[in-house]
A = this chain, B = another copy of it.
């Protein structure tokens, strides 16, 4: 073969989200950006905290630029890693040190690296539906086999019974994403406890570790007083994949980290495997300026009220029009049931109203669409007439 067919397939069949995003840019040129109601991409609409810009300027002023923009250690700048570790310890009452932290180019890199660190050819990795479609790509790149665990109907919490059926001696890792993309659901303490108890039991039964990979780009994006349990407190063999993309509204800058639980069995070995996996995937170090920015902005927060206002308007309106959706406790997605049960036709009908939403069949739950409400409030307001018309077409 003249080229790598898997790579070609992944490049020519883009993720549906990216596909719609590209269409939206073309369509905006045709009819004007204000006429296209693009809800496809999880691109934060809320500005980064002012502290981010201030920190960049301060760093530029007070540092030798060859150091500031120079290579850091492969695992990341030591001071930044210490700041992150201290912050985690303070917030979650765990014992993570600087040497348990590995800086990455964002959540996708974190996941790819973690999987490549622990997975061997043929190992199974369980994801909880609905799940972010790229998990499949990352699992398969690591040589693993994706196994989907179905959620409880309506609540989209984890279904323990289904999970138990999917676990077997080939299970190497699970990816848990809470707040969840695309459902916006936060897994409860009770769910987490039960999952972790089950995993411990299965680890003993199989005689090998099962790694719990926490994908946490949405950790800070929760509404009201909802608590997002910190998995290290429930399960030793936990790797946390964190990203500043959403918490600081910096998704394009590709900055995040992996935290390897030091309480984990063979934690040094796993940490070194993380370093090696990063190396083999071509990650030399995470972007140096934004490592420092992240390290200095750990307590900075984006304006969550804007997302909450968006959620309330969209959720309340769609419910009023007769659509069925899960009320999200976190992230910035609304997971809406197709009135006919068919996601693709729902997506296509919405498109006729210039409303761009993501059909979620690839996310492991059929018949739903994802609406990313991380957009300008006016886009939601102006789209409502279209949603209303759509509801009428469906006789809701």
Stretch of A48-56, A148-156, A180-188, A384-392 contacting B (4+ beta carbons < 8 Å): A48-56
Whether the Cβ atoms of B251 and A71 lie closer than 8 Å is yes
Q: Is A259 an interface residue (CB 8 A)?
A: no
Whether the Cβ atoms of B118 and A249 lie closer than 8 Å is no
Stretch of A284-292, A333-341, A361-369 contacting B (4+ beta carbons < 8 Å): A284-292
Report Cα–Cα, A269/B320, bound state, in Å. Answer: 47
Most buried by B among A11, A112, A118, A277: A11
Whether the Cβ atoms of B276 and A8 lie closer than 8 Å is yes
Report Cα–Cα, A47/B67, bound state, in Å. Answer: 9
Question: Which of B11, B116, B281, B289 is close to A279, meaning CB atoms less than 8 Å apart?
Answer: B11
| Chain B positions within 8 Å of A18 at CB level | 73-74
Q: Is A2 an interface residue (CB 8 A)?
A: yes
Q: Is A87 an interface residue (CB 8 A)?
A: no
Binary contact readout A33-53 vs B (1 if CB under 8 angstroms, 0 otherwise): 000000001011111100011
| Chain B positions within 8 Å of A281 at CB level | 112, 141, 281-282
Report Cα–Cα, A73/B273, bound state, in Å. Answer: 31
| Chain B positions within 8 Å of A7 at CB level | 116-117, 273-274, 276-277, 280
Contacts A11-B274, A253-B287 given; does A280 touch B6 at CB 8 Å: yes
Q: Is A309 an interface residue (CB 8 A)?
A: no
Whether the Cβ atoms of B70 and A252 lie closer than 8 Å is yes
| Chain B positions within 8 Å of A162 at CB level | none
A sample of 27 cross-chain residue pairs with beta-carbon separation below 8 angstroms, ordered by A number, consists of A2-B208, A4-B118, A4-B273, A8-B273, A8-B276, A9-B276, A10-B275, A10-B279, A11-B275, A14-B74, A18-B74, A44-B66, A47-B65, A69-B251, A69-B252, A70-B251, A105-B254, A109-B284, A110-B282, A111-B282, A112-B282, A113-B282, A137-B280, A252-B291, A253-B287, A254-B284, A254-B286
